Amino acid sequence: MNVALRLPESLGMRLKEFSKRENISMNQFIATAIAEKLSALQTYDYLEERAKEGSAAHLSSMLKKVPNRKAETFDK
């Protein structure tokens, strides 16, 4: 798929400099950035849907099963 993309000049220059420094194409960088953003958004949607399946009563019952003890030093 081909997509025409217009970037502000300052952003385009930073992209060009970064791509050159990291030895990757600008196309590769943009494709990776889009993939990362879509993954984050899909994760948010997934967690939002899972949250709808939960309830405060279920959370409370699960928390009651956790032993009541002091936190380990490394957890403070």
- pTM recorded for the entire structure: 0.62
Per-residue pLDDT tens digits for 8-50 = 999 999 999 999 999 999 999 999 999 999 999 999 999 999 9
**Sequence letter at residue 76:** K
How far, in whole angstroms, is CA 26 from its chain's centroid?
21
Per-residue pLDDT tens digits for 50-66 = 989 989 999 999 999 99
Kindly list the domain boundaries of the chain, sorted by start residue. 10-64
Task: Identify the band that residue 76 occupies on the pLDDT scale cut at 50, 70 and 90.
Answer: confident
